[in-house]
């Protein structure tokens, strides 16, 4: 039986990091364009303060500029950015209190009826409220997985824990979330 080896996708941001390391400001601007909004949403949910999140984002981008040459490529650039963001947010001295930010209205399908859109929005609000009722470390892992779509390995790198820890926390968080949603009358299957 032939053996198939998994080959990870090349990181599309790696060339930007190499250009930033050589002092290319346009590459930093492009990296900001690609990831700035995502990082700002993460920081806003982490800090629950939009203005502070914007300041921390600028600090993150300055850290990227100053440390690009030291980026070894052991993780994806996006994961590295979120790790820097998390560490800078912690250093900002704020108590961790995740707050799920509203999704952009363009997220909803334009071909959905108003009733369907209202149902989707209602389900999302119920999900947000349920996540918010969980302990902070469960909230954080669900935010990183559901809203930022990070893999288990990427979450482990951001949080500085093992993949096994991520898997067990994620399992417990999904189970707690399922119970909260069922208690509120919502039906949800967390895979």
Number of domain units in the chain: 2
* Rounded (10°) angle between helices 25-47 and 77-91: 50
Query: How do residues 24-78 score in pLDDT, each as one tens digit?
Result: 999 999 999 999 999 998 888 888 788 888 989 999 999 999 999 999 888 899 9
Q: What are phi and psi of 44, to 5 degrees?
A: -65, -40
Give the pLDDT confidence score for residue 97 in this predicted structure: 46
Is a pLDDT exceeding 70 seen at residue 124? yes
Note whether residue 77 is domain-resident: yes
Report yes or no on whether pTM surpasses 0.85.
no
Give the pLDDT confidence score for residue 44 in this predicted structure: 85
For residues 22 and 68, membership in a common domain is answered with: yes
For residues 19 and 87, membership in a common domain is answered with: yes
For residues 61 and 128, membership in a common domain is answered with: no
Read out DSSP for 30-99? Answer: HHHHHHHHHHHHHHHHHHS-HHHHHHHHHHHHHHHHHHGGG---SS-HHHHHHHHHHHHHHHTTPPP---
For residues 129 and 161, membership in a common domain is answered with: yes
Note whether residue 104 is domain-resident: no
Note whether residue 141 is domain-resident: yes
Tell me the CATH number at 76. 1.10.1740.10
Domain that holds residue 171: 111-183
Residue 110 neighbours by CB under 8 Å, 6+ apart? none
Distance, CA of 89 to CA of 58 (rounded, Å):
11
Distance, CA of 153 to CA of 168 (rounded, Å):
13
Note whether residue 105 is domain-resident: no
Going by pLDDT thresholds of 50, 70 and 90, the confidence category of residue 147 is confident
Give yes or no for a contact between 64 and 84, defined as CB atoms under 8 angstroms apart. Answer: yes
Average the pLDDT over 158-176 and give the result: 89
- Cβ atoms within 10 Å of 54's Cβ, excluding its own: 15
Give the pLDDT confidence score for residue 111 in this predicted structure: 65
Is a pLDDT exceeding 50 seen at residue 151? yes
């Amino acid at each position: 039986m032939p053996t198939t080896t998994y080959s990870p996708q090349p990181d599309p941001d790696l060339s930007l990091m190499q250009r930033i390391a050589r002092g290319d400001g346009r590459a930093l601007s492009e990296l900001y364009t690609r990831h700035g909004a995502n990082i700002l949403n993460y920081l806003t949910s982490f800090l629950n303060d939009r203005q502070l999140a914007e300041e921390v984002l600028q600090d993150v981008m300055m850290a990227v500029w100053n440390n690009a040459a030291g980026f070894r490529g052991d993780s994806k650039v996006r994961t590295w950015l979120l790790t820097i963001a998390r560490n800078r947010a912690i250093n900002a001295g704020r108590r961790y209190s995740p707050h799920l930010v509203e999704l952009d209205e363009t997220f909803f399908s334009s071909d959905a009826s108003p009733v369907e859109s209202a149902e989707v929005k209602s389900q999302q609000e119920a999900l947000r409220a349920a996540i918010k009722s969980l302990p902070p470390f469960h909230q954080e892992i669900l935010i990183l997985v559901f809203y930022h779509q990070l893999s288990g390995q990427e979450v482990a790198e951001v949080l500085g824990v093992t993949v096994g820890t991520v898997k067990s926390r994620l399992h417990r968080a999904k189970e707690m979330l399922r119970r909260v949603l069922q208690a509120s009358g919502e039906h949800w299957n967390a895979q």
